[in-house]
Amino acid sequence: MPEYFTRLKTPTDTVIHRFQANDFTEACRIAWSHARAAGAVPTATNLVEKFRLKAGERIVEQAGIPNAATALAENGPAAFEPLDLVARREICLLALRGLRLADTPHLRRLGHFLLDRTLWFWTADALVKGEYVRDAVKRELSALPHTEAAARAKSPSELRHEHAVPRKIVRKHLTSRHARWSDVAEDEAVAESAEVLDRCPPVLVTIEEDRKLGGKLRAGMGEDGSFEDPPFVRYERAGIVKSVDELHFPKDGLWTPEGRYRSSAGHR
């Protein structure tokens, strides 16, 4: 059984918990149990298999720490939920703010940075126990579309969180629609920006697969490609998959094979 570690920062200390789990998904749930017990705020990046202790860190060996069965019983079959309306709205407002800044010559880079970060918020974050958590599903196979090679990866450090539609393409598309949004009500602008972001799914690939996404496929959809292309076509063009059918879409995941964000009841 693989061994995992979770690094947690508490109000008074930074501690390392060591435990075993059948796979990464199970390890995530156990790590969340550790975090709740320690009163820490965890993120997906707390979970690693190889690490070096930093100054002031220590390994904590506790009797009665949560095991796989306990964690599964406490958390149920799915630990993550889609972003709710409040989180989605606030992320869209950040995107709109970034667009406004990008139109200001001396603040253009700040606007572009904010737009790029917005995509990470949309694809890597989720609700956990009803709370918004940064990077909650950044490398979570049970939540995001992924390749067969990614499913076989032995460690999350072997994975890359990749945007099926590159951020540069999304930013360009958002910018092309910004002029219209400046003349409509805020709620309408938020709804339309959400529609754009909902068409830009993340995909977990391996480091080796990510290297195939070079040249015109790194920041674009390929030769003569555009935002209107099918969202997963880059992986076909790069030779990572022969068709979208080869990608894995978790049953209770946050994205559909059509490349749409899957909102739970009342979250849209």
User: Are the beta carbons of 49 and 93 closer than 8 angstroms?
Assistant: no
Q: 268 or 201: which carries more pLDDT confidence?
A: 201
118/223 same-domain check: yes
Lowest-confidence segment of 47-56, 90-99, 155-164, 236-245 by average pLDDT: 47-56
The pLDDT tens digits for 203-223 are 999 999 999 998 889 889 988
92/190 same-domain check: yes
Average of per-residue pLDDT values in the chain: 81
pLDDT-derived band at 60 (thresholds 50, 70, 90) equals: low
Q: Of 31, 57, 75, at which residue does a domain stop?
A: 75
pLDDT-derived band at 262 (thresholds 50, 70, 90) equals: confident
42/135 same-domain check: no
Q: Of 57, 75, 93, at which residue does a domain stop?
A: 75
Cβ of 128: how many Cβ atoms within 10 Å?
20
Q: 252 or 238: which carries more pLDDT confidence?
A: 238
176/52 same-domain check: no
Q: Is residue 25 part of a domain?
A: yes
Q: Is residue 105 part of a domain?
A: yes
pLDDT-derived band at 69 (thresholds 50, 70, 90) equals: very low
DSSP states along the chain: --EEEEEEE-SS-EEEEEEE-SSHHHHHHHHHHHHHHHT----GGGEESS--PPTT-EEE--TT---HHHHHHHH-S---B---HHHHHHHHHHHHHHHHHHTSGGGHHHHHHHHHHHHHHHHH-EEETTEEETTTTTT-TTTS-B-HHHHT-SSGGGEEEEESS-HHHHHHHHHHHHHHHTTS-HHHHHHHHHHHHTT--EEEEEHHHHHTS-GGGTSSSSTT--TTS-TTHHHHHTTS-SSGGGSB--TT-SB-TTS-B-PPTT--
Whether pLDDT at 8 is above 70: yes
110/173 same-domain check: yes
Q: Is residue 255 part of a domain?
A: no
Whether pLDDT at 63 is above 50: no
Give the model's pLDDT for residue 170. 92
Looking at the 3D structure of the chain, how many domains does it have? 2
Average pLDDT over residues 191-212: 94
Average pLDDT over residues 103-125: 92
57/104 same-domain check: no
121/66 same-domain check: no
44/114 same-domain check: no
Lowest-confidence segment of 1-10, 135-144, 152-161, 238-247 by average pLDDT: 1-10
Give the model's pLDDT for residue 120. 92
70/101 same-domain check: no
The letter for the amino acid at 64 is G
Q: Is residue 257 part of a domain?
A: no
66/148 same-domain check: no
Q: Of 75, 104, 127, at which residue does a domain stop?
A: 75
Give the model's pLDDT for residue 263. 67
Q: Is residue 158 part of a domain?
A: yes
Chain CA centroid to CA 123, Å? 4
Q: Is residue 262 part of a domain?
A: no
pLDDT-derived band at 147 (thresholds 50, 70, 90) equals: very high
Cβ of 210: how many Cβ atoms within 10 Å?
18
Helix, coil or strand: residue 63:
coil
- The pTM of this model reads 0.72
Whether pLDDT at 71 is above 90: no
43/123 same-domain check: no
116/242 same-domain check: yes
Average pLDDT over residues 225-243: 92
Q: Is residue 208 part of a domain?
A: yes
pLDDT-derived band at 68 (thresholds 50, 70, 90) equals: very low
75 bridge partner residues: none
Whether pLDDT at 94 is above 80: yes
Q: Is residue 44 part of a domain?
A: yes
Q: Which domain holds residue 66?
A: 3-75
Whether pLDDT at 250 is above 50: yes
